[in-house]
Amino acid sequence: MAPTKSLPRRKWCISITVAAIIVIIIVIVVPLAVILPRKKHNIQKANVIVPLYIYPSSTSLWDPLYNALEIHPTLNFTVIINPNSGPGTTQFPDADYTAAVEKLSTYDNALMVGYVRTGYATRNISTVIAEVDTYASWSSNSSALTMHGIFFDEAPYDYSEDAVDFMHTVNQVVKNSTGLHGPRLVLHNPGLIPDSRFDDNTTDVTVVFEHDYPTFLTKEASLDALPNNRSEYCYLINSVPTMALANLTTLVDTLSSEAQYLFLTEETVDFYQSFGSLWTNFTAAMTT
């Protein structure tokens, strides 16, 4: 008879134990779920970087950019201004270019940086500095032409002491410029992960990948292995296939968790000379 009398009591004890465990789980897990970040679309700040290598013979050629800036006022755009593989041979841009840049400057969510090529630190450094100074001088002609930093293309990635010194010197020119305003952003584009000895607190953003999407898939592991400093990284990815675009929001989420600055296009050639059919959907997926 004793065993049959103890059975309800045992069930009661088990019920009390289960209830206590549930309470503990609620007390511990629920606050953690609230506190810890969950991976969801645009939980982290993202920034569209725009290699704008389109000459505005008509301001309408930049309309896709103007439209995106208007539609997504909370999304930041870093626009690379490139009149002629650099600032050109004149002190100020011509009338067409001036009109287009002045219109671009009316958008609060657009940051403009001038394009300067370093030739992997082989160009004459005086020429590179002179081009930085040319962009800086634009603000003296019109405040609407003010640049907010410099995008150094063809930045070196193989280490040499001379190359490190070269890049440090031109970085300092940007940071000390009185003609460049705002953050005086310094961007390097080696197109791949550079030697870590190029790390410099005067370099704000590095393009650690510039290539097509199939190549990106082969480099993803090495990119994932970079230090967790996503605000310092940029991906420029072309030739994005239709299959990858089937869930563009998920793709952008994944990429923006690794690099704050992104540019995606389905174009396979001349991908910086047009906005491409992906542009509208890409910028919508990037919206914060």
Strand runs labelled E in the chain: 47-52, 76-81, 110-117, 149-153, 185-189, 205-212, 233-238, 261-264
d(CA 204, CA 188): 8
Note the maximum CA span of the chain: 105
Q: Identify whether the C-beta of residue 179 lies closer than 8 Å to the C-beta of residue 139.
A: yes
Predicted local confidence at residue 44, as pLDDT: 63
C-beta neighbour count of 280 within 10 angstroms: 14
**Distances from the Cα of 94 to the Cα of 55, 81, 116, 165, angstroms:** 11, 13, 18, 34
Res 201 pLDDT > 90: yes
Residue 42 is predicted with a pLDDT of 39
Q: Say whether pLDDT at 24 is over 70.
A: no
Reported pTM: 0.85
Q: Give CA–CA dist 151/107, Å, rounded.
A: 20
User: Residue 198 pLDDT > 50, yes or no?
Assistant: yes
Which amino acid appears at position 155 of this protein? A
- Domain spanning 47-286: which CATH class is it, in words? alpha beta
Residue 165 has φ and ψ, to the nearest 5°, of -65, -40
